[in-house]
Amino acid sequence: MENKEAVIDFVKLQTGIKLELCDFFTKVKRMNGKKYFNVVFKTRQEFSKYYPILQRLELSYKCVSFQPNGDCRLAVFF
């Protein structure tokens, strides 16, 4: 996957979860040679509901990974 829109579409197709881009951290960044961007959730409770589903996606496909990056923010590595 070459861009964040492709990653968001992939996650939506595989899990049904529509990720919302973070409006504060808008650019694709790099950490340890991997590209990432941030997505946000409306509430922390909703974040904890979706995080296990996203972890299973990460283990299944290995092309995308997720790490918490704040209270309601998630870093999506690709």
**Arithmetic mean of pLDDT, 52-65:** 94
Residues in the chain: 78
Q: What is the pLDDT of residue 26?
A: 86
How far, in Å, CA of 78 to CA of 76, rounded? 7
Helix (H) or strand (E) holding 6: helix 4-15
Number of separate domains in the chain: 1
How far, in Å, CA of 38 to CA of 68, rounded? 9
pLDDT tier, 5 (very low <50, low <70, confident <90, very high otherwise): very high
The predicted model scores a pTM of: 0.88
